């Protein structure tokens, strides 16, 4: 699969089947994050690969109500960082940007491997950090939900989420975010 293919195939699916999590898979995903670019090569991202059933079950309890579908995850990757782990140039704090790029690499690689890697923001951060032993001064930015896309639509999904399984949610047109030479 080439990069464009992976970008186009990637979807935030919410109907998931179980997959077995291997050490090889974890290493593979960690290694693509490792070579992501970052400001002054600061590599601000920190990752916890959570796959033990009993640990997953604890995390399933701190999800937002719209994220019941996450309970079919075979693994959650907790992605966290803090501003001091990366460049701070005036008002520009690069830790979220660089961690986002590493996250995108993980998502695309998982897509190439035929998996679903769906990042979520809908969880109680403090409680999740507590469960995962993440220090208070770090931001738990996302949990990447890992599984395999199921042909059966998950019955817990809302109608709009069910529609999202069939087609990609609409995007704003290029005219609304692309400018040539100057803004506006």
Ligand X SMILES: Cc1cc2nc3c(=O)[nH]c(=O)nc-3n(C[C@H](O)[C@H](O)[C@H](O)COP(=O)(O)O)c2cc1C
Question: Of 25 and 141, which CB lies nearer to ligand X in the complex structure?
Answer: 141
Instruction: Kindly list the residues in this chain that would bind ligand X in the complex (CB under 6 A).
Output: 11-12, 14, 67, 119-122, 142, 168-169
Give me the least distance between CB of 38 and ligand X, in Å please. 18
Q: At what angle do helices 125-132 and 53-60 cross, to 10 degrees?
A: 160
Give me the least distance between CB of 138 and ligand X, in Å please. 17
Give me the least distance between CB of 101 and ligand X, in Å please. 13
Give me the least distance between CB of 181 and ligand X, in Å please. 29
Distance CA 9, CA 105 (A): 14
Comparing every residue's Cβ against ligand X, the nearest one is 122
Give me the least distance between CB of 120 and ligand X, in Å please. 4
Question: Of 11 and 82, which CB lies nearer to ligand X in the complex structure?
Answer: 11
Q: Which residues make Cβ contacts (< 8 Å) with residue 21, sequence separation at least 6?
A: 49, 51, 74, 75, 146
């Amino acid at each position: 699969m080439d990069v464009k293919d992976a970008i186009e195939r990637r979807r935030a699916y919410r109907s998931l089947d179980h997959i077995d999590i291997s050490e090889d898979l974890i290493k593979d995903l960690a290694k693509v994050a490792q070579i992501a670019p970052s400001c002054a090569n600061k590599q601000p991202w920190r990752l916890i690969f959570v796959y033990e059933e009993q640990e997953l079950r604890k995390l399933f309890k701190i999800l937002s109500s719209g994220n019941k579908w996450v309970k079919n995850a075979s693994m959650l990757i907790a992605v966290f960082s803090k501003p001091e782990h990366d460049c701070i140039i005036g008002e520009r704090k690069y830790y979220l940007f660089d961690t986002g790029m590493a996250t995108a690499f993980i998502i695309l690689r998982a897509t190439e491997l035929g998996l679903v890697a769906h990042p979520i923001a809908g969880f109680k951060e403090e409680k999740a950090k507590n469960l995962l032993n993440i220090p208070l001064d770090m931001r738990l930015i996302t949990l990447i939900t890992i599984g395999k896309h199921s042909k059966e639509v998950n019955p817990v999904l809302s109608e709009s989420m069910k529609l999202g399984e069939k087609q990609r949610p609409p995007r704003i047109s290029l005219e609304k975010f692309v400018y040539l030479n100057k803004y506006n």
